[in-house]
Amino acid sequence: MSETRFRALASTSFLAAVFVLAFQASTAFSQAPPPPVTVAKPLSKKITQWDEFSGRFEPVESVEVRPRVSGFIDKIHFKDGHIVSAGDPLFTIDKRPFEIMVESAQATIVQRMAEVDLQVSEVERARPLVDSRTMTRRDFETREANLAVARAQLAAAEATLRSAMLDLEWSVVKAPISGRLSDRRIDVGALVTGGAGASTVLTTIVSLDPIYFAFDGSEADYLRYIRLAKSGSRPSSRDEGNPVRIMLADEKEWTRTGKMDFVDNRLDARSGTIRGRAIVDNPDRFLTPGLFGRLQLFGGEFDALLIPDKAIVSDQTRKIVFTVGEDNVVAAKPVELGQLQPSGLRVITSGLSADDQVVINGIANPAVRPGAKVNSEPGEIVNAATQ
């Protein structure tokens, strides 16, 4: 046998062996049993929806402390950043000019009172003279007019005294609200300008308890809340304080609670959002204005279908769920997702029915794919976990 013929026979034998092995592997694969999966119907349950928003804390009251009278700062009665109560003294403006004004006004009152007494006596002496025709009626009326002028001047002097005493009272600048102070903007000896014009800002105060949480909601959220209110499923936050839960940036649980306090009267034309506000108790003053947080707003109660979150598969931009029919063939159903519940179950807003048999275990097997035949075993979806 020639060498060429020998090589041809060897090559043919090798190819035949490869084909035999491939055929045996294909036959074994086609005869492999269907992969086991666990299926269960979605859990039907009435759930409370909590809609999540981002926002920041704001003070209920915020005041720029300004003097009502002008003068030189004589004393400062607080430390920067401290807590004060309404009425606590903050600054004292040099009182001496205002005390002098009060004394001057008091002296003017004494003078005006003496003038009134004199004019009263003049009128009383002239009255019988008019009756006896010794004095003309005109002279008598002149004396009565002088008395009226004296009394008016006395009233003006009394008003001037009250104004001077008010300026003296305002020389001590007091906290208009309770809260936390900022730093002082001036020092002792500085000249400050008071009044309603360009008065000097001395410091600022923000209230801390309670405190607001402000956030922006989308147009879609606003429309949904309005429709829920009209259907009676959920009251409007304009009419009732719907409950809220708040979590700070470093917290893992929604431990802080409050209620809705305000919804704005219009949507922002540029962002398409509407401003909402909740009010939260802050007795320990831990929360401070400007602090970031996340808020969950009560969005109503409704019947929902829930499945384990791990039973959901991503297919490019879609979310799908594998279901098994009566013929044990896998089918893929696109679904719309709702909120993830604390139990680990995901709300399915659309795409599933209550009778669908959802694959809850075995989905990681590559053989479990749409159109594949599987060996399904009944399971159950419970609140705490997936059996």
User: Is this structure's pTM higher than 0.75?
Assistant: no
pLDDT at 280: 96
Token pair of 228 as six digits: 């829920």
Question: Of 377, 314, 320, which Cα lies nearest the Cα of 34?
Answer: 377
Helix (H, G, I), strand (E, B) or coil at 234: coil
Strand-pair category, 358-361 with 36-40: antiparallel
SS3 27: helix
For position 262, what pLDDT does the model report? 94
Along the 387 residues of the chain, how does pLDDT read in single tens digits? Answer: 455 555 554 555 555 554 545 555 444 445 578 888 888 888 888 888 888 999 999 999 999 999 999 999 999 999 999 999 999 999 999 999 999 999 999 999 999 999 999 989 888 888 888 777 777 888 888 888 999 999 999 999 999 999 999 999 999 999 999 999 999 999 999 999 998 778 899 999 999 999 999 999 999 999 999 999 998 888 999 988 999 999 999 998 898 999 999 999 999 999 999 999 999 999 999 999 999 999 999 988 888 888 888 888 888 788 888 998 888 888 888 988 887 877 778 888 888 888 888 888 888 888 888 888 888 888 888 865 443
Burial class (CB in 10 A: 0-12, 13-18, 19+), 222: middle
Say what the pLDDT of residue 175 is.
Answer: 95
The CATH number given to 68-93+172-206 is 2.40.50.100
Dist CA 322 CA 334 (whole Å): 9
Predicted local confidence at residue 21, as pLDDT: 52
The pLDDT assigned to 387 comes to 39
Measured distance CA(172)–CA(210) in Å, rounded? 28
Yes or no: say if 309 and 346 are a contact pair by the CB < 8 Å rule: yes
If you classify domain 36-46+303-378 with CATH, what class do you get?
Answer: mainly beta
d(C-alpha 157, C-alpha 149), whole Å = 12
The structure tokens listed for 49 are 């929806």
Torsion, CA 359, CA 362, CA 364, CA 367, rounded to 10: -90
Neighbouring residues of 170: CB distance < 8 A, sequence distance ≥ 6: 67, 68, 69, 194
pLDDT for 18 equals 46
Mention the CATH class of domain 50-60+208-302.
mainly beta
- Joined tokens for residue 285: 């003053």
* CATH domain 95-170 topology: Helix Hairpins (1.10.287)
For the chain, the straight-line distance linking the first and the last C-alpha, in angstroms and rounded, comes to 70
What's the rounded Cα separation, in Å, for the pair 123 and 192?
50
Q: What is the DSSP letter of 381?
A: B
Angle at the Cα of 370 from the Cα atoms of 369 and 372, rounded to 5 degrees: 70
Nearest CA-CA partner of 276 in 237, 219, 247: 237
The domains of the chain are located at 36-46+303-378, 50-60+208-302, 68-93+172-206, 95-170
